Amino acid sequence: MSRALSSGLIDKTLDWTVLPGYSKLGFRVRERFWHDGEAQALPAGWSVLVTGASAGIGAAACERFARLGASVHMLVRNREKGEDARARISERSGSDRLKVEVCDVSSLASVRDFSSRFVAEQGQLHALVNNAGVMSSTRIHTEEGFELSFATNVLGPFLLTNRLLPSLRRGAPSRVINVSSGGMYSQRLCAEDLQLERREYDPPAFYAHTKRCEVILTELWAERLRGSGISFHAMHPGWADTPGVRTSLPRFRKLMRPLLRDADQAADTIVWLATAVEPAERPGLFWHDRAARPTHRVPWTRESGADRERLWDECARLSGWSEDAGPVPATPSSDKESD
């Protein structure tokens, strides 16, 4: 049996059996077959913005990018935590090209403030990683009236990405990577109630629904911006031992801890999607461990074309973003921080 055939059969088996495929065991098996090995150093001036960058997968991705020579913008809610993370990453990577950016992705006002400043000051952006996410233990609404997980995982990234398009266009060929979750396989898009206000609050289910939304939006961006020089990709990192899992899923972590990936393993596909040749040639797909995966496992989770468009239109309406708005204006402002 050829090496390629063998690796394909092993990969599919791991993927469909879920537990071994999403664990560190799946990562260790698959990485033995990766022909491209470690990514090469990036061109001078290559820049990336990573949200949720102060800990976990976001911080691990920032460190990997820094080691490759990238200029890394670390987007965080809390400057102090961000600066602590920046110092640690700088020491380990030997890079001084790390900058802390402050923005609360769950706040549309904060996203508008930051994006206006960034587009005016930074010029080109070569990759955007929408990694920040939250799974609240109770139903919480932001000051702007949005359910917190929807605001953080869907609406904020939707607005941020669209408002950073001028910088991404200047950096083309550029890429956007949306960090989703394998949990999205359990959920069907509820287009008529995106914030699930008519459902009893269920943290994992609400989180998984937002991750379903992220994958669909990735596909829609890829369709809308085909030929723009910006490619869009979604991925899931597998099961990782991160601060978010420790806080939101303590029982799951206690049960699965021996099998959980570390943050660096979880971040591998993010960095590969941002820097390797193959992903740019296959936009709009859903990836795990450097391979494209199906977006549905069972037929009843599939959404209609009308529901997909409804998701896009509702995100645009709620965020106040319009495709006809033109370039993001530059407005002077000061950093905003949140706890």
Q: Is residue 99 part of a domain?
A: no
Lowest mean pLDDT, pick from 17-21, 95-99, 221-225: 17-21
Per the structure, the count of domains in the chain is: 1
Q: Would you say residue 250 has pLDDT above 50?
A: yes
Q: Is residue 185 part of a domain?
A: yes
The residue ranking higher by pLDDT, 256 or 7, is 256
Q: Would you say residue 48 has pLDDT above 60?
A: yes
Query: Containing domain of residue 127, as a range?
Result: 40-93+104-319
Which of 22, 185, 201, 207 is catalytic? The answer is: 207
CB distance 257 to 241 below 8 Å: yes
Model pLDDT, residue 33: 87
**Per the structure block, which two tokens stand in for 130?**
């929408």
Q: Compute the distance between CA of residue 119 and CA of residue 151 in angstroms, rounded to an integer.
A: 22
CB distance 169 to 229 below 8 Å: yes
Q: Is residue 132 part of a domain?
A: yes
Q: Which positions ≥6 away from 89 have C-beta within 8 Å? A: 59, 62, 63, 66, 72, 74, 95, 98
Lowest mean pLDDT, pick from 113-117, 172-176, 280-284, 327-331: 327-331
Model pLDDT, residue 235: 98
Lowest mean pLDDT, pick from 93-97, 247-251, 271-275: 247-251
Residue 292, Cβ density class (10 Å: 0-12 exposed, 13-18 middle, ≥19 buried):
middle
Q: Compute the distance between CA of residue 147 and CA of residue 170 in angstroms, rounded to an integer.
A: 34
- Compute φ and ψ for 268, nearest 5 degrees: -55, -50
Q: How confident is the model at residue 332 (pLDDT cuts 50, 70, 90)?
A: very low
For the chain, give me the number of helices (H) and strands (E)?
15, 8
Q: Is residue 256 part of a domain?
A: yes
Condensed to tens digits (0 to 9), the pLDDT of residues 35-47 reads 755 556 799 899 9
Q: How confident is the model at residue 7 (pLDDT cuts 50, 70, 90)?
A: low
Condensed to tens digits (0 to 9), the pLDDT of residues 256-273 reads 888 899 999 999 999 999
Q: How confident is the model at residue 335 (pLDDT cuts 50, 70, 90)?
A: very low
Q: Mark whether 22 is an active-site residue.
A: no
Condensed to tens digits (0 to 9), the pLDDT of residues 160-213 reads 999 999 999 999 999 999 999 999 999 999 999 999 999 999 999 999 999 999
State what percent of residues in the chain have pLDDT above 70: 92
CATH number for the domain harbouring residue 309: 3.40.50.720
Model pLDDT, residue 3: 55
- Compute φ and ψ for 291, nearest 5 degrees: -135, 145
Q: Compute the distance between CA of residue 301 and CA of residue 191 in angstroms, rounded to an integer.
A: 12
To which H or E segment does residue 15 belong?
A: helix 3-17
CB distance 330 to 107 below 8 Å: no
Q: Would you say residue 123 has pLDDT above 90?
A: no
End-to-end CA distance of the chain: 55
The arithmetic mean of pLDDT across residues 69-75, rounded, is 98
Q: Would you say residue 5 has pLDDT above 50?
A: no
Q: Is residue 27 part of a domain?
A: no
Summary mean pLDDT of the chain: 91
Q: How confident is the model at residue 280 (pLDDT cuts 50, 70, 90)?
A: very high
Q: Is residue 34 part of a domain?
A: no
Q: Is residue 13 part of a domain?
A: no
